[in-house]
């Protein structure tokens, strides 16, 4: 029997009720490196719940880069990404974006990709690009309102590769957005890996295209 897929999550931590799914956690914001990385703002917990809904057998490693607010920097995210890859994460979800290209973050993404990790990150529907989504090889995901839970779209746009459901589990629209889209798509990736799809990025990419509920952006008429 194949080992469960390890999903790395860079976010605000995890809630206690998810403890049976979390096999490792580390805080990159707490003094003393609090290994528990308990979620104080709820964002990371919703991300984990969205991934778990699509990949029920996945196990998580959680890197906490947000403390009391959704603020971080490229250097902190780079440290978190390196740690998750060292823990054996096959896919890493980053429901976040920083505005400036930082050399440590770029290098960490390159190392993750070189080691065969599938890196998924959120990207805005409009405006300036964010990082790490804008780095080559990272799968860029935006929210797509057409997608119900369990669906994703193959957008193949200059700024976004895929779209996915914008809602967190429970349907709280106040928490809707690209960060949830990234989480849902990471769940799809983990489910594909669990189903036996080769874990190479190219195979995962093609499987995501083939299984998409929608292809291309929504066409609007005036």
At residue 113, the pLDDT reads 98
Q: What is the mean pLDDT of the chain?
A: 92
Residue 174 confidence (pLDDT) = 62
Query: Given this model, what pLDDT does residue 221 score?
Result: 33
Closest by CA position to 162, among listed 104, 29, 23, 146: 146
Share of the chain above pLDDT 70, in %: 92
Instruction: Find the helix or strand (DSSP H, E) in which 51 lies.
Output: helix 43-54
Q: What is the pLDDT of residue 220?
A: 37
Q: What is the pLDDT at residue 170?
A: 74
Tens digits of residue pLDDT in 56-98: 999 999 999 999 999 999 999 999 999 999 999 999 999 999 9
Distance CA 94, CA 65 (A): 10
On the question of pLDDT at 201 being above 80, the answer is yes
Domain 6-215, CATH 3.40.50.1370 — does that match?
Answer: no
Query: What one-character DSSP code corresponds to residue 33?
Result: -
What residues are paired with 131 via a beta bridge?
A: 98
Confidence check: pLDDT of 1 > 60: no
Do the strands 162-164 and 152-154 form a parallel or antiparallel pair, or are they unpaired?
antiparallel
Examine the pLDDT at 215 and tell me if it is beyond 80.
yes
Would you tell me how many other CB atoms lie within 10 Å of the CB of residue 105?
24
pLDDT for the residue 35: 60
Tell me how many degrees the CA angle 80-83-86 measures, rounded to the nearest 5. 155
- Local confidence band at 32 (pLDDT 50, 70, 90 cut-offs): low
Confidence of residue 169 (pLDDT cuts 50, 70, 90): confident
Q: 159: buried, middle or exposed (CB in 10 Å: 19+, 13-18, 0-12)?
A: middle
pLDDT band at 193 (very low <50, low <70, confident <90, very high): very high
What mean pLDDT comes out for the span 22-35? 80
> Over 70: is that where the pLDDT of 2 sits?
no
Please give the pLDDT value at position 127. 87
Domain spans of the chain?
Answer: 6-215
The pLDDT, as a whole number, for residue 188 is 97
Q: Range with the lowest mean pLDDT among 32-41, 64-73, 140-149, 206-215?
A: 32-41
Alpha-carbon distance of 75 to 55, in angstroms, equals 29
Condensed to tens digits (0 to 9), the pLDDT of residues 110-140 reads: 999 999 999 999 999 988 999 999 999 999 9
């Amino acid at each position: 029997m194949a080992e469960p897929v390890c999903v790395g999550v860079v976010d605000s931590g995890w809630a206690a009720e998810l403890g049976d799914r979390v096999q490792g956690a580390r805080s990159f914001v707490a003094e003393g490196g609090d290994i528990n990385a308990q979620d104080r703002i709820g964002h990371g917990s919703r991300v984990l719940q969205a991934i778990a809904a699509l990949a029920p057998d996945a196990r998580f490693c959680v890197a906490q880069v947000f403390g009391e607010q959704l603020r971080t920097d490229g250097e902190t995210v780079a440290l978190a990404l390196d740690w998750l890859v060292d823990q054996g994460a096959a896919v890493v979800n980053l429901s976040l974006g920083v505005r400036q290209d930082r050399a440590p973050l770029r290098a960490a993404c390159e190392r993750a990709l070189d080691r065969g990790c599938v890196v998924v990150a959120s990207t805005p529907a409009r405006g300036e690009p964010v990082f790490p989504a804008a780095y080559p090889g990272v799968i860029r995901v935006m929210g797509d309102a057409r997608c119900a839970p369990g669906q994703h779209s193959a957008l193949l746009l200059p700024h976004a590769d895929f779209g996915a459901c914008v809602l967190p589990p429970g349907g709280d629209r106040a928490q809707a957005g690209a960060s949830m889209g990234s989480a849902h798509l990471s769940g799809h990736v983990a489910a594909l890996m669990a189903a036996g799809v080769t874990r190479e990025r190219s195979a995962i990419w093609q499987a995501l295209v083939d299984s998409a509920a929608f292809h291309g952006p929504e066409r609007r008429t005036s």
